[in-house]
């Protein structure tokens, strides 16, 4: 049984509803095209699994494993690709699926890397957007929720690799404990 922590910032119900909207929008925007959805692991695993099932056009899936935080709650600004794509995205319509865009460093690094492979198009879908922390401008075409400048966990997001399995989004206080 999942231990229940404090009051969630974003409930399961809100997440589910928002994912249905995003799925509808993406299905409309990609009506006549196949789309390659790229999940950025580990953080995006839960969002990705729910999002792709809310999309009604043919979807090809792939994953990237990146690490930018090295187990702390502060960004080091360094992004490491631990595992790369297995599909060729040249000429494809690609959507990168992220858990959260914070400083924007991870996403802008990934976009640059993927654009060098010449996809037909490249868009971003992020469950959470924390715009107050942005240090580099990077457009996000599909956003689930805008969140305040607080460290959040759950629904894929971790603190020191824990809390990813919480079925909702919660806020961590500065001691690393949940509010």
Task: Please list the active-site residues.
Answer: 102
Residue 8 vs 43, nearer CB to Mg ion: 43
Token readout for 154 is 């759950």
Q: Cα(116)–Cα(113) distance, rounded to whole angstroms?
A: 6
* 160 phi-psi bin (left φ>0, alpha ψ -120 to 50, beta other): left
Residue 93 vs 102, nearer CB to ligand IMP: 102
Residue 28 vs 132, nearer CB to ligand IMP: 132
Least separation, in Å, of the C-beta of 148 and ligand IMP? 10
Residue 129 interaction partner, one of ligand IMP, Mg ion, none, beta carbon < 5-8 Å per kind = none
Residue 55 vs 153, nearer CB to ligand IMP: 153
**93-101/35-41 β-pairing:** parallel
Residue 151 interaction partner, one of Mg ion, ligand IMP, none, beta carbon < 5-8 Å per kind = ligand IMP
Which stretches of the chain bind ligand IMP, using CB under 6 A? Answer: 43, 68-69, 75, 98-107, 151-153, 157
Least separation, in Å, of the C-beta of 50 and Mg ion? 16
What are the φ/ψ torsions at residue 29 (nearest 5 degrees)?
A: -65, -25
Least separation, in Å, of the C-beta of 55 and ligand IMP? 21
Token readout for 118 is 């010449």
Residue 69 interaction partner, one of ligand IMP, Mg ion, none, beta carbon < 5-8 Å per kind = ligand IMP
Which stretches of the chain bind Mg ion, using CB under 5 A? Answer: 43, 99
Residue 67 interaction partner, one of ligand IMP, Mg ion, none, beta carbon < 5-8 Å per kind = none
Least separation, in Å, of the C-beta of 85 and Mg ion? 16
């Amino acid at each position: 049984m999942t231990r229940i922590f404090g009051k969630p910032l974003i409930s399961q119900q809100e997440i589910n509803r928002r994912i249905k909207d995003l799925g509808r929008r993406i299905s409309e925007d990609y009506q006549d095209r196949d789309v390659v959805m790229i999940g950025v692991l580990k953080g995006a695993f839960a969002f990705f699994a729910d999002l792709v099932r809310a999309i009604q056009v043919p979807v090809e899936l792939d994953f990237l494993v990146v690490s930018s935080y090295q187990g702390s709650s502060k960004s080091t600004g360094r992004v490491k690709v631990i595992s790369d794509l297995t599909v060729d995205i040249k000429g494809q319509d690609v959507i990168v699926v992220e858990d959260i865009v914070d400083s924007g460093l991870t996403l802008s690094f990934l976009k640059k890397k993927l654009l060098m492979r010449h996809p037909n198009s490249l868009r971003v879908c992020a469950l959470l957007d924390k715009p107050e922390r942005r240090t580099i401008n990077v457009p996000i075409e599909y956003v689930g929720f805008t969140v305040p400048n607080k460290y959040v966990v759950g629904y894929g997001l971790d603190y020191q690799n824990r809390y990813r399995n919480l079925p909702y989004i919660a806020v961590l206080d500065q001691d690393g404990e949940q509010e």
